[in-house]
Structure 1
Amino acid sequence: MYLRSNIMSATRAGHGLRRLSSNALVYSEEVLHAKTTGSPIVALESTIITHGMPYPQNLETAVAVETIIREKGAVPATVAILKGQLTVGLSREQLEYLAHAKGVVKASRRDLAPVTAAGLDGATTVAGTLVAADLADIPVFVTGGIGGVHREGENTLDVSADLTELGRSRAAVVCSGVKSILDIGKTLEYLETQGVCVCAFGESDEFPAFYTRRSGHRAPHRTPTAAHAARLLAAARALCLESGTVIAVPVPEEHAMDESVINEAITLALQEAKRKGIHGKEVTPYILAAVSEATGGKSLDTNMALIKNNAKVGADIAVEFNKLMNVDNVSNNLNIGFSRRVDNSADSRSFHTSCRSRGSAPLSPSEPAASEPVLAIGGANVDRTYRVAEDYIKLDGSTHPCAMAQCGGGVARNMAEALWRLRGGRARLLTAVGDDADGHYLTGIAPGLLLDGCVVRGARTPTYAAIMDARGECQLGLGDMALHNHISIELVNRHMDVLEKAPVVVLDGNAPQATIKYVIQHCSKTNKPVFFEPTDRRKATKVLHSGLRIAYASPNLTELRAMARFVKPYMLPDHVNGVDEILYLSKMLSSFIECLIVTLGAKGVIIVRNKDLHGNGYDTTAKLYPVNVMESIENVSGAGDCFASGFLHGVLSNLNEPSCVSIGFEAAKNALLSSNTVPSNFKMSTDVKESSYKTLL
């Protein structure tokens, strides 16, 4: 089974946006499971199978390398294009297919789109594999050797695309340097120009030359151990360096070739290639084959030995890097790079303590629960917007020209995806979608996010359509949400293990009333915090039917009024508005909700905390957090959900209230600048800046 990952892009078209969708990747079950569980993964190229070695050595080496990586505690992800589909993680049958296949295209960056569009088979080079590794967010890539500047490159301009790709990929490439058929000195200079960090691995700073341990050139840096290399990679991510790292591992001494023998063989092979007019990407496989023949097969043995050794080193680095990410020494995930500044002030302690009474639990990354996936329960649907190009919409049956855009929607789905991206895959969604095209579209946006059993056979996936005028104001909304009734208690019980391990459960108002009440009752018994997002004023009161207290709710003013009216219908103020009204209404909900996050759109948020005084009423405190108004906005539909997810992500990271709000604002800003409801990558500031706020109570 393979699962698709949708990579979205947007282009301007007329007055609106045209969304372009492509199913960029499929993952093997093994790789998908590793991504959803947060296990270390190592990317592998496939040209070594199709162009680097003859059969059967190519298959034996590929299988051996994958076995080594598994034995070291990581998951191998060999990358290739199969019948036009960029695939991350190959089965044994697919490896055998590539090992025997003829006419497989050697696919660098420039070749990925043509090979995919034509439905061909392609073996990814270092550059091509780096593209896939970045799309799949795999931080470590193992290969034999990277490409470089060819000899006489200053005249021919023959420079491998590997070097350029290393300058724009975040991955660490574990290799044995570059082959001595290349100009190693110029290659190192080119890597420096591209901003690539080059490190020799081990006790020496000598840069290796693939078949031999020495090249006569020094690496700019040295990393002595896998743990050190992992810290280097983590530091590069924390600094948001959008360039790669080369970890150059010398071939084991017992397998290294004699420098004079290999240099003579390479010189003769290069002369023969020049005489035959062989150039470009065909040079390397020709030279390798010629050198293997000239050395009686010894160069092939060396090639096989060094790639296996590189696999051991790369797997060790991936495991160590994964440990750093799990303990949050640098960043809580791979998409966000802010440093943790835990405030031990009284205000910070009060914030977290206030969320630990009945129905709540401590939320600290030092506790195992905080590293478990958050569970979101509620609606998922496909959002379609139709932006009319004309100034006026006439509801008289006439046709209006418009631009249509499509993206994933549903409050629980949006929050689950945002948390999945912010927390490095640590989020799950319990919802209901059909087995139709819309359902396949939603399941492909975030691989592994949906729990088993959420796809209902023969059903129609919920959809929402918004008719917008030329100014972007919604004039009419249409919803087909009947399938949300399938988010049942029985489905919750099927995944009770996920619920019980989750550090917090997110509920939205789209879930059926009985399911919401059941989940709140169970969470109350197990002292688990619940975060409720009302979705609209008519569904906002669902959380109150249980009569139990929950940790968080994030209503807007309209939803807050509806909730207060449900609790005390005869106590609503007649002429109070603004901040005073919000405080009055929030106090009315003090026995039901500990922390109210009242969203005010462009005015910011008010955080109201109702601390239980255990029989002596509630102590209510409130702060207003203003937000900077943005002049340029791409899409508003997912900003509120991303704010709530960013805020909750801060709570799970044990940050104080202002920092949680700051992360929420940053996440919302990313959403406002994205054509998706949830941006495919959150680009956050490199430090948490506490939001300015005004104490109201």
Structure 2
Amino acid sequence: MFLRRIAWVQFRLFGSRPDLVISPKVRNALNQRRAVVALESTVITHGLPYPHNLGAATSLEEIIRSEDAEPATIAILNGKVHIGLEPDDLKRIAEAKNAIKVSKRDIAYALEKELVGGTTVAATMYLAHSAGIRVFSTGGVGGVHRGADQTFDISADLQELSQTPVCVVCAGVKSILDIGKTLEYLETHSVNCIVYSDKNVFPGFFTAETQYKGQLNTENLEEVAKIIESSSDLGLHAGTILACPIPNELQVDGDFIEKIIKDALEESKAKRIISQQVTPFILKRVNELSEGKSMKTNIELLKNNAKIASKLAKLLVGPRFHAAKQSEANGNDKRRPKVTVIGATILDYEAVTNEHVQNDGGSYAGKMEQRCGGVARNHADALTRLGCDVTLLSAIGNDALGEWIRKRCNHMNWDNVVVSNKFSTATYLSINVQGNINFGINSIGNVIYDISPEYIKKHEQSIAEADFVLIDGNISEEAIKQIAITSKYYNKKSKILKLFLGK
């Protein structure tokens, strides 16, 4: 019964789902803590006509790669969520005649019917966050529609922004919407709304300026990254909008665009177009009425946003500059203690029941809990939260379990951890009956042997520079001996503080 329950929990882990495909390039980038930028696919399936959509999608991925980041275009194909598309997949969704627009509520339906689905801002945010991607580049976000006081038409994008901590890099709110009411909604729901400019003037998608202001403005992406990190540290679950005004040379005359938008809106009302079909219809008509000017502008602002998003994503996975900057800002010149922690990273499961369990092969009601574990990882986590400069030497598998741990421990430094392509992430199960742990079962496997003497030698400098070295007794005897030899050699700089034996 417990093992069947474990299988169910592993299925529930996002990365373990059989209806999810994370491309090898995206998976490796996430495991190696390299920058990843999510891209939506509704702009491909519904926003731009073929072949402009394919050309734009390819260009966006090339721009992100040129900035040393990995693009992750998200779409639904063959009954699966794809995070990161191969060139043939991009071509397929660009050419699809019957693709549907997939917001968050439509994901399950699209999977069940095995439809080609272009993900909206809301769906892309949700799926990106579930995969551990923190930055998402798009054109413009949805919002409160004009006339919402009569129709109550408010984009699901806003709801997702209020509850999903992803930074959406965009050119503001789509200009076909009620920008003022949209900004009021974002403020009410505690969404960071940052204008990436030298002045606090919220952009209007096709135009660089509107009559509205954002929460704040800055031209410093490090400041943006610090706000995102601080929000995460505070446990704030709302997302962040980084509104990037379109470059002046690309913007369209505001009065001209406003007139054709109003014409398109009137036409949509006359044709009784509602719900998800409103935005694609209006964008198409605006493009037609502007004789293609709006489409060219749309593509260029997409490229501009992708470049900015890539730079931001690199900051968020780079050296933990924000801790050093914060220390400097506080006037704190004290050096943080350096601690090197060596040992296991484990995904812990606990089966909990309050029933009277007997050895009779029966099934008992209870619950399963999962958490990040491993003696070394636990101590590295606690010391990081205490403000120490921690280096973790450990090993995880290049798999969904390893991703799950790293996603929930993104406050830790994973740069030196082995990501094994041969072995799975270690797991441990404890059986809790009426508040007592009856027994535990570990499946550490061979991944622990990636913490080898050779690996220790490779990271000798981490031991040499440490004030304290903590060793988890789960690693091999040979590895422990190598740590002891290295620590003794650098005895003026390093000290084995404690040897933790067993789980």
Give the direction of change, closer, same or farther, for the CA distance of 1:329–1:400 in structure 2 (3 Å limit): same
Report the equivalent of 1:74: 69
Partner of 1:571: none
Deviation digits for residues 78-104 of structure 1 (CA, Å, limit 9, x no counterpart): 223343444433333332232223333
Cα offset for 1:53?
Answer: 0.7
8 A Cα contact 2:103 2:123, kept in partner? yes
Q: Does 1:217 align with 2:177?
A: no
Query: Would the aligned equivalents of 1:412 and 1:429 in 2 still touch at CA under 8 Å?
Result: no
- Is the aligned partner of 1:389 residue 2:351? no
Corresponding residue for residue 474 of structure 1: 437
Q: Do 1:211 and 1:256's aligned partners in 2 also have CA atoms closer than 8 Å?
A: yes
The answer (yes or no) to whether the contact 2:194–2:218 under 8 Å persists in 1 is yes
Give the Cα separation in 2 of the matches to 1:296 and 1:236: 43
Structure 1 counterpart SS, 2:252: coil
Distance 1:330 1:104, change over 3 A: farther
What is the rounded CA distance, in whole Å, between the counterparts of 2:426 and 2:157 in structure 1? Answer: 44
Partner of 2:249: 254
1:376 corresponds, among 339, 343, 368, to 343
Q: Distance in 2 between matches of 1:512 and 1:263?
A: 69
What is the letter of the counterpart of residue 446 of structure 1? Answer: I
Is 2:12 the partner of 1:22? Answer: yes
Secondary structure at the residue paired with 2:320? helix
User: Which AA in structure 2 matches 1:188?
Assistant: L
After superposition, give the CA deviation of every residue in 1:339-397 in whole Å (9 maximum; x if it has no partner).
Answer: 999795xxx99xx6xxxxxxxxx54xxxxxx7xxx65258x68756373622xx555x5
Structure-2 change in CA distance of 1:414 and 1:300 (3 Å): same
SS in 2 for 1:190: helix
After TM superposition, give the deviation of residue 466 of structure 1 in Å: 5.1
Q: Mind listing any 5+ residue stretches in structure 1 that lack a counterpart?
A: 1-12, 333-338, 353-361, 364-369, 434-438, 531-548, 560-640, 642-697
Q: Shift of residue 529 of structure 1?
A: 9.1
What SS does the corresponding residue of 1:133 show, helix, strand or coil? helix
Indicate yes or no: 2:488 matched with 1:520.
no
Aligned to 1:551: 497
Change (3 A) 1:274 1:230: same
Q: Deviations over 1:268-287 (max 9, x none)?
A: 22222222221111111111
- Name structure 2 gaps, 5 residues minimum: 16-20, 407-413
What are the equivalent positions in structure 2 for 1:664-683 lying under 5 Å apart? Answer: none
Contact 1:257 1:299 in 2 (8 A): yes
CA distance in 2: counterparts of 1:420 and 1:129, whole angstroms: 34
The reply on whether 1:318 has 2:318 as its aligned counterpart is no
Pick from 388, 400, 405 the counterpart of residue 446 of structure 1.
Answer: 405
Number of aligned positions between the proteins:
477
Q: Does 1:145 align with 2:140?
A: yes
Alpha-carbon distance change, 50 to 524 in structure 1, aligned in 2, over 3 angstroms? farther
SS at match of 1:328: helix
Mapped to 2, the partners of 1:321 and 1:306 lie a distance apart of: 23
Q: Is the 8 A contact 2:393 2:451 kept in 1?
A: no
Task: Note the alpha carbon deviations across 1:410-430, whole angstroms, 9 max, x for none.
Answer: 745864995899799975644
SS in 2 for 1:474: strand
Q: CA deviation at 1:64?
A: 1.7
CA 1:407–1:252 in structure 2 vs 1: closer, same or farther (change >3 Å)?
A: closer
Match of 2:200 in 1: 205
- Structure 1 pair 484–506 and aligned structure 2 pair: CA distance change class (3 A): farther
Instruction: Determine the C-alpha separation between the residues in 2 that align with 1:238 and 1:413.
Output: 22
* Pick aligned residue for 1:226 from 210, 214, 221: 221
2:134 aligned with 1:123: no
Residues in 2 aligned to 1:149 and 1:328: alpha-carbon distance in whole angstroms: 37
State how far apart, in whole Å, the 2-side matches of 1:257 and 1:196 are: 28
Change beyond 3 A, Cα 1:40–1:325: farther
- Counterpart CA distance in 1 for 2:216 and 2:456 is 50
- How do 1:86-101 and structure 2 match up within 5 A? 86-101=81-96
Partner Cα distance (1:133, 1:139) in 2? 7
Q: Distance in 2 between matches of 1:403 and 1:272?
A: 57
- Greater CA deviation, 187-196 or 129-138? 129-138
Instruction: Using CA pairs under 8 Å that are at least 6 residues apart, name the structure with larger relative contact order, 1 or 2.
Output: 2
Aligned partners of 2:252 and 2:141: how far apart in 1? Answer: 19
What secondary structure is seen at the aligned counterpart in 1 of 2:97? coil
Closer, same or farther in 2 for the Cα pair 1:417/1:29, shift >3 Å?
farther
Tell whether the 8 Å contact from 2:125 to 2:160 is kept in structure 1 after alignment: yes
Cross-structure match for 2:473: 509
Distance 1:553 1:121, change over 3 A: farther
Q: Percent identity over the alignment?
A: 33
Closer, same or farther in 2 for the Cα pair 1:201/1:493, shift >3 Å?
same
- Alpha-carbon offset, residue 186 of structure 1: 1.7
1:420–1:427 CA contact under 8 A, matched in 2: no
CA distance in 1, matches of 2:496, 2:382: 20
Alignment-mate amino acid for residue 177 of structure 2: L
CA separation of 1:452/1:315 partners in 2, compared to 1, >3 Å: closer, same or farther? closer
Matches within 5 A, 1:297-696: 297-322=292-317, 325-326=320-321, 328-329=323-324, 362-363=338-339, 375-377=342-344, 383=349, 385=351, 387=353, 389-390=355-356, 393=357, 397=360, 399=362, 401-403=364-366, 405=368, 407=370, 411=374, 415=378, 427=392, 429-430=394-395, 442-443=401-402, 445-446=404-405, 451-452=419-420, 454-455=422-423, 468-469=432-433, 471-475=434-438, 477=439, 479=441, 484=445, 488=449, 492=452, 495=455, 499-500=459-460, 502=462, 507-522=471-486, 524-525=488-489, 550-554=496-500
| Alignment partner of 1:53 is 2:12 | no
Name 1:679's counterpart in structure 2: none
Structure 1 length-normalised TM? 0.58
Write the distance in 1 (CA, Å) between the matches of 2:318 and 2:479.
Answer: 37
Change (3 A) 1:120 1:331: farther
Distance, in Å, in 1 between the alignment partners of 2:457 and 2:148 is 59
Q: Secondary structure of the residue that 1:55 maps to in structure 2?
A: coil
Letter in 2 for 1:158: D
CA shift in 2, pair 1:270/1:138, >3 Å: same
Q: Distance in 1 between matches of 2:457 and 2:80?
A: 35
| Counterpart contact for 1:44–1:129, Cα < 8 Å | yes
Amino acid paired to 1:223? T
Provide the residue aligned with 2:409 in structure 1: none
TM-score, normalising length: structure 2: 0.78
Letter in 2 for 1:22: R
Distance 2:383 2:194 in 1: 33
Distance in 2 separating the partners of 1:189 and 1:381? 42
Q: Retained in 1: the 8 A contact 2:453–2:478?
A: no
1:258, CA displacement in angstroms?
Answer: 2.2
Inter-CA distance 455–303: structure 2 relative to 1 (3 Å threshold):
same
Change in Cα spacing, 1:77 to 1:330, as seen in structure 2 (3 Å) is: farther
Distance 2:401 2:457 in 1: 24
Distance across 2 between alignment mates of 1:487 and 1:175: 43
Taking the aligned partners of 1:29 and 1:497, their CA distance within structure 2 comes to: 29
Residues 401 and 207 of structure 1, relative CA distance in 2, 3 Å threshold: closer
Q: Contact 1:238 / 1:331 at 8 angstroms: preserved in 2?
A: no
Measured after TM superposition, the shift of residue 153 of structure 1 is: 0.3
Distance 1:327 1:163, change over 3 A: closer
